[in-house]
Amino acid sequence: MYAQETQPLPLTPPPLPLYPIQEAINTAEITKSDLRKAREAANLPRWRAAQELAVSEDTLKRWEDPTEKAMPTSTDVSRMEKAYGAPGLWHSWMYSNDEGFRDHIPPADVMTLQSSVLQYYSEQSEMLPHLAQLIREAVDGKVDDRAYLRQLIQQLSELLGAGHALMINLREQDTPA
């Protein structure tokens, strides 16, 4: 019996769907309180988060307070997602709070196994160049470049989110109907 010949994967991933696949994406309502919880999960005090988001602490407090009418813009929530290391926060916020977005973007639960595989492949491809630099940086047991460290943490977070979404899709395939 001959071993089946396989084609190597291309070095550049194929184009991806227009919507992200992340661990935190779901169609449940995300509220202003959830923005606070995301900040707290990142262990960021309000003053520090406000500083990273380039807004006043009072503005951030109003965004997180369900009794206040002030709402962050989509750009603000995108910055929160990055600052808090919370993949999917922007997508979930938009899906919960923007009717136009909901009308044009399918919810996460309709994403296919194929798109999960492609997203994971893409995230993995983006991570590969960082591994050689990480090996060089970690020779002394630590990463000295703080900006690179933050970038690496974000990239790993995105990879883990894509891996988690893929795992969920694979488990659904294994569940008896």
pLDDT one-digit tens code per residue, 7-44: 544 444 444 333 333 333 444 567 898 899 999 989 99
Structure token digits, residue 1 = 């019996």
Q: What is the DSSP letter of 98?
A: -
Say if residue 134 is in the same domain as residue 81. no
At 23, the amino acid letter reads E
C-alpha 169 chain-centroid distance: 17
Cα–Cα distance measured from residue 24 to residue 176, given in angstroms and rounded to the nearest whole number: 25
For residue 118, what are the domain limits? 111-174
**Structural domains in the chain (count):** 2
pLDDT of 82-123, one tens digit each?
Answer: 899 887 788 788 878 888 877 776 555 455 677 778 888 888
Of 87, 104, 121, which closes a domain? 104
* 89 and 37 both lie in a single domain: yes
pTM for this predicted structure? 0.49
Task: Tell whether 118 and 170 lie within a shared domain.
Answer: yes
Identify the domain boundary among 104, 122, 153.
104
Verify that 73 and 117 share a domain, yes or no: no
Residue 169: C-alpha distances to residues 88, 92, 109, 135, 173 (Å): 17, 19, 10, 32, 6
